[in-house]
Structures are given as structure tokens and as C-alpha cells.
Structure 1
Amino acid sequence: MPLVAESTYQPPFYLFNGHLQTIVPSLWRTVPDVAYQRERLELPDGDFLNLDWSRLPPMRPTNGLVIVSHGLEGDASRPYMRGMVRALNRAGLDALAWNYRSCGGEMNRLLRSYHLGDTDDLDLVLRHALATGRYRRVFLVGFSAGGNVTLKYLGENPDRVPTEVQRAAVFSVPTDLQASSVHIGRLQNQVYLRRFLKSLRLKVRAKAELLPGQIDLAGIEDLRDFQEFDSRYTAPMHGFDSADAYYQHASSGRYLGGIRVPALLVNAQNDPFLPASCFPREVAAGSPFVFLETPPEGGHVGFPEGSPDGEYYSERRAVEFLTAEVPA
């Protein structure tokens, strides 16, 4: 019954609510000591992904590879990604932080982009890494949207997951996308919603310039929430009949029971993005593989600490879980 009974996370005293624990790390944290080597991965459908590698020096043998997936409208350069990569490298692990289609500073080629249930690209990245022949042990880490993709990948078709995949750790995951899309529209969350929609509108406009005549921009500025945006753009651009159909297909919560490798899910109780349905306690209680930790504090993709080495709780917890012989 992998319900983590008690979390050890304690935020700094001056970050005393979920909004501060979310916003301060996002806007003011810096992680300078990470050096990526970028690789362009050409895809079978004519598109591409940009992969950012952070490998250990040749004289230092690696204990495996961790594939790190970012959140909605993020990329490998975000502080939470760089912080996790640094912690993994310190623990003797290579890291591969991949950028979704249209992310990482470069628009993708096709009409489609990325969505929160797209596990095929994660599978392509994973198999590309395995094809190097360098890794017999692989771990997965994901934040928010990337955590949703990671959990869905592990649970929707367990037989597809390569045997090299040992464990996963994900943080701040909207396992119920329908409820989460409503929850973020609450008055107290408008600052987050407006920021996401601004970024998404810019992406659609850039895609319309790249592919003239294929995207209708009329009324794009009138879209006021995720349901409207996803109905207008995300769903039809990725083959779904409606936003509801997209949310139903893409939500990782419905696939958790299929997970067959130890997977840690850490969702803070004060996360402003997550409704009650994103805390799957019953599933974790009945699964030998899904470890659910719900600290009272942490915010969304936050978990800041005042540690002298600059690491955050999410990073320490991921390393602890991924490298443990018996997860707990």
C-alpha cells in the first residue's frame, strides 16, 4: 500500500503559501552550473525534437540515464529542469532533458505540436537513448504536464515500456485534466491562466505564419480559458473530436492501475493548479507500484528549500527514490 505516510518537506519560513512556493522558484531561481549538449532528433513523420544532454565526464562512470520531461509551455532551460539535471549528475546519473515539439526555442515543422497525452514522442526519445548502447538502466522524471505524460506512458501499455526502465518520479501532476482545466480558471489562479494562454496564443500565431492558410486565427484573443483554447486548437490539431475527448484520453489518472515499475508521485496539498481528483489515494493504496506523497506545502513545481547546495526537495526526493534499492 504505497501511500507515503509522512513527507519531510518543509518550505522556507518566508515562502508561507502555495502561490509564493510556486512563483518565487519560477521567476527568481537560477541554476548556472549545467552545460547541455544539444542534439536534433529527426522523427519518422518529418518533424524533429531538440534533446539537451547532460552527461558525466568520461572519467566518471554513470549509474544510468534519467529522461526528464518539462511542464506545459516549458523547456529544458527552465530552473526546475536545470536543478533536477544538476542533482542527477551529482548523483552519478546522466540526464536527457528533452524539449517537446514547438518548445526549446524553435517551432516544429508540422501542423501538430505537443499535447499532455502524447506518449509516442517520449517513447521515441527513450528508444533513441537506448540505441546508443550506453545504458542498461533508465529512469523517468516529469514535472506537471511532463509528469502526466510520464505516468500515462508507464500505465497505458506496460508491455511497450522497455525493460531498461527501472523507476520514475513525477511532481505536481494534473492527473485529471478535465478538473484541472476548470480549477486553474478560478479567480485566484488567473495570473497563471493568463500567462499560459499568452504563450499558447503566441505559439499558434507563429505556427500560422509557418503554415499559411492552415490555421484560423479569428477570435483567438477572445479565448479565455483552457477549455475554449483546447476546443479551438489543441483537440482538432491532434485528432480529437473535442476538448472533453482530449482530456479523457490524455489524463494519466485513468492509466495509473497499469503501471508496473515503481513510480513516485509527489503532489503538494497547497498546489494552486490541482483539484482534489489529482490526489489518487485509492489507486496508490491498492497498487504495489504507485507511491503517492502529498506534503501539505510545496506549491506547483516548487518545493524550494534553503539548502546550502542549492538543491530543492523535489530534486533530493527524486534522487533518493530513483537510486534506492527498495523504494519507500
Structure 2
Amino acid sequence: MDALLTFLSSCNLFSCASSLLVGLVCVVWFANVYSPPERPRVVYKKVKDGTSGVAEKVATRCNILMEKYFPPLLWGRSGHLQAHMYGFICRFFPPQVNGQRHRRVAADGATITFDVFYPQLSTNCESNDETRRIAVVIPGIGNGSDRPYVRVLVREMNRLGYIVSVLNHLGALEDEMLTSRRIFTYGGTDDFQLMMDWVLERWPGSMVIGVGLSMGGNVLMKYLGEKPNRQRHFVGAVSVCQGYNIAKGLPTLMNWAGLRRLYNYHVTKHLRKVVRRHSDVLFVPPVERRDDSSTGCCLIPDMERTLSATSLMEIDTHLQRHLVKFNSLEEYYEQDSCCHYLHNITDVPVLLVNAQDDPLVAEFLLETAEDYASTFSNALFVLTKHGSHLAFFEGGILIPNTVTWIDRMITQFMKAADEIHREI
């Protein structure tokens, strides 16, 4: 009997040890710990006559591109874990920066808001047009200047002496109510134009650097490409973690590959909160439901289906498509995609940054950015092995550095673009 108990006890110990070993292997596999850090892949067109193109000049001045990117050892090499930690760290450790709220009223009655952040102990505001440095930032989907990841970037820009103006996507802020029947769209540029008008009126003759984050990158690139004369106001433009083609990108979020369907639901859940907060403005009583005689589109969205949506495409089907008056999602997505306008951006240095392990952006979508950078000498495409979606945490074993890799990349690009502009 004692021998039997001893045997069973040893079996239990072996079983526990085996379970722990299997669990440890799974954790190591999921965390991708053994994925070695690498230098970013950099793509730009080299000029044949032996001179350096704009993108090449920028690349040689950004030392960060010559270095390996080291994410946090225990969790930074998994795109999923970086995305999770990104939300945790940003939520509990937000930087303290204070901006001044400004409002502009659009032609349709919408009240557009943006916050301007001034560098401390700087004479930048009073300096002349030649030396004043201004940056304009467009956040990701449903976000504004209150988001921690935006404020980290603002803080680093302020440290460089830049005045930073951040667009708040229409409907995103909890303390700003809608004054017209619409919210932000994936590629609408009218709201950003109102902010740009204010910036250029406030500091006439000044040159700006634009930064678009995720969906904001799509808006910025579309803004510069749909009317090329807008580029004359810009020293440089940065796009981070966007997918370039909405018509091809959003359907991939309906698939479970890379857990994209789960991320789709998470983003949709946030967007539902935005819609619910403004439901009294966005949804008209059913008795007033009617069609637009000129387009044939139903003008009244479906509140019940919108507020129960589990994907972005459902919200677009039952709400957004009707508000922007498109006959189909395909037409709406094609119209809002910056990929159709990139070829028009030739007069300003452009930096496009993506990560291979981005759980939201399928890798085939990055062909657009690579083709653009390979064709035009003003564009630089940077692809990191790690970084997830807008995270790019850097350094440490468990606790990362306070400044992320992407913050350093953007600020180095800003310095390089500014230097090149002053040399011309």
C-alpha cells in the first residue's frame, strides 16, 4: 500500500512538472522571447546621378535607423503583448502636459476642436517665421489630445521647442457635444483643414510638420495628396501604423488570423461608446426616415443595429455610410483611402512607419508604402520587426524606457526634415 501511494505521489509530481513545463513553453512561445532584435528595414529610392535624394538625406541623419530596436525582453517581442501592455501603461502612467482648447465651426454647423500645446521656457511663439517650429498631430480612430500616447509624443515635441496642435476627432471627447449630425470618418480631411487654417492664420508664413497616428496617418496622407498645393506649408510628414487601403484592410479585421477579429471587436466597442454618447444627435426618430432623392441613400441610420454592432464594418453599414451619403461601403472605403493619393505627394519629405507584428495591419497592405517609397525620392518607408500597433516600447527586461522607439524616430525625423528645409 505504501509503495502504491509512493508511486501515485511520484506520478502527480511528474504530471505537475510536465504541466508547468508545457505552460512555460507556451508562454515563451507566445511572448516570442527568442525573436532576436533587428535593425529596421529601410526603403527609399536612390537617385541615379550620384546625388542624394531627400529621403536618403533624411535616413542618413536619423541614427536610430542604424541601430537595432530592442523591445522589452519578457513581453516586447510579441505584438499581442505589446498591444496589451500599451493599453495598461498608457492608462496608468499618463504624462502631464497642458494645452489650450480652440474651436472652429464648420459649414455644416459641426464644432471642430483642437488643443495647442506650447513648449515651456521657449520664445518659439514670438520668433519669426523662419525659426518658428510648429507640429500638427492627428490621433488614431476615435481619439483626441487626451489620449496618453498622444501626450507622450506632444511632450517630446515640446522638448524640441515645437508648438504642437492636436486635432480632436469629432465626437471623441467626452466633454464636447456634437453640434451637427456627423462624427469623424476614416479619411475625411475637412476637420483637419479647419485646424490648419487656424494655425496658418495664427502664425502666417510658418512651416509645419505633420504627424498622423494609425487612422490619423491615413487622413494626413490623403490631405496632402488630394490637393498637392497644400504641401507648400509642410516641412515634413509622418505616418505611423496605418493600413493605406481601407477597402482592403477593413475586411481583414473580420478574420481570426492574428486575432484581428478580437481587436476589431475591441475598437468597435470603443466606437459604440462614442456613438451612444451622441445618439440624440446622430439618430433621428424613425417617423422621419426618408431617402435622399439625389443619391438614393437612406439618410437615417439604424440606431439599434449600430449600438449592437460587433465590428467596424457593421457600424459603417448602419451609421457612417448614411451620414456621409455613400451608396455602398466599397465606395465609402475607396474614397477615404490614402493609397489613391500618395503618388501626388512629391514636394515634402515623408516618413511611413509600420511594424511587422502589428495585429491590426495585415502585412500585404504594406506593399503600398514600399512601392511608394521605392518610386519617389522624397519618401522613406521604415519597417520594424517588433512594435505592435503604435506601441514600440523600448529597453528593459520588464519595465520599458519612458520614451518609446517611435517617439525617438519621429523626433529624429523632425530634426532632419527641419535641417534639410533650412539648407534649401
Quote the Cα distance in structure 1 between the aligned partners of 2:324 and 2:67.
38
Alignment check: 8 A CA contact 1:265 1:293 kept: yes
Q: 1:208 aligns with which of 262, 274, 279?
A: 279
| Paired residue type of 1:96 | S
Distance 1:7 1:269, change over 3 A: farther
The 3 A distance-change label for structure 1 pair 278 and 246 is: farther
Give the counterpart of 1:93 among 162, 167, 180. Answer: 162
> Of the candidates 202, 209, 225, which is equivalent to residue 139 of structure 1?
209
Consecutive unaligned residues in structure 1, runs of 5 or more: none
1:80-135 deviation digits (Å, cap 9, x = unpaired): 10011001001111111110110122232111111011012111111111101266
| Structure 2: 5+ residue stretches without partners | 1-44, 46-54, 60-64, 126-131, 286-299
Partner of residue 320, structure 1: 412
Q: 1:311 aligns to what? A: 403
Letter in 2 for 1:252: C
Whether 1:273 aligns to 2:360 is: yes
1:144, distance to aligned residue in structure 2 (A)? 0.4
* SS of alignment partner, residue 322 of structure 1: helix
Alpha-carbon distance, 1:25 to partner: 1.7
2:228 to 128, 147, 158: 158
Q: Which residue of 2 aligns with 1:248?
A: 334
Q: Name the Cα RMSD after superposition.
A: 2.3
| Separation (CA, whole Å) in 2 of partners of 1:6 and 1:148 | 27
Partners of 1:7 and 1:113 lie apart in 2 by 41
Q: Which moved more, 1:106-115 or 1:5-14?
A: 5-14
Pairing 1:1-328 to 2, within 5 Å after superposition: 1=45, 2=55, 8-14=68-74, 15-29=76-90, 30-57=93-120, 59-61=122-124, 63-105=132-174, 106-133=176-203, 136-159=206-229, 161=230, 163-187=232-256, 188-210=259-281, 212-213=284-285, 215-260=301-346, 261-275=348-362, 276-280=364-368, 281-306=370-395, 310-324=402-416, 325-326=419-420
CA contact (8 A) 1:141 1:170 kept: yes
Contact kept, 8 Å, 1:256 with 1:290, in 2: the verdict is no
Greater RCO, CA 8 A, separation 6+: 1
CA offset digits 1:217-261 (Å, max 9, x no partner): 233355332222212211121122211111111111121111131
Question: Could you say what secondary structure the match of 1:293 adopts?
Answer: strand
8 Å CA contact retained: 1:7, 1:293: no
Contact 2:301 2:318 in 1 (8 A): no
Question: TM-score, normalised to structure 2's length?
Answer: 0.72
Q: Which structure has the bigger radius of gyration?
A: 2
| Equivalent AA in structure 1 for residue 395 of structure 2 | G
Between the two proteins, what is the percent identity of the paired residues?
28
- Report the residue type matching 1:109 in the other structure: T
Distance in 1 separating the partners of 2:255 and 2:150: 27
- Structure 2 counterpart SS, 1:60: coil
1:101–1:107 contact (8 Å) kept in structure 2: no
- Cα separation, 1, equivalents of 2:350 and 2:208: 13
CA distance in 1, matches of 2:205, 2:403: 26
CA distance in 1, matches of 2:121, 2:233: 22
- More moved, 81-90 vs 134-143: 134-143
User: In structure 2, how many angstroms separate the alpha carbons of the residues matched to 1:9 and 1:135?
Assistant: 37
SS of aligned partner of 2:232: coil
The amino acid that maps onto 2:145 is A
Aligned in 2, Cα 1:182/1:318: closer, same or farther, shift over 3 Å?
Answer: same
Q: 1:318 to 1:59 in 2, by over 3 A?
A: closer
Equivalent-residue separation in structure 1 for 2:67 and 2:371 (angstroms): 18
Query: Structure 1 residues 42 and 222, CA, compared in 2 at 3 Å: closer, same or farther?
Result: closer
User: For residues 215 and 250 of structure 1, do their structure 2 counterparts lie closer, same or farther at Cα, with a shift above 3 Å needed?
Assistant: closer
CA contact (8 A) 1:197 1:225 kept: yes
Cα contact 1:100–1:114 (8 A) shared by 2: yes
Assess if the C-alpha contact under 8 Å between 1:177 and 1:247 holds in 2.
yes
| Cα distance in 2 between the residues matched to 1:189 and 1:239 | 28
1:157 is matched by which residue type in structure 2?
K
Amino acid at match of 2:414: L
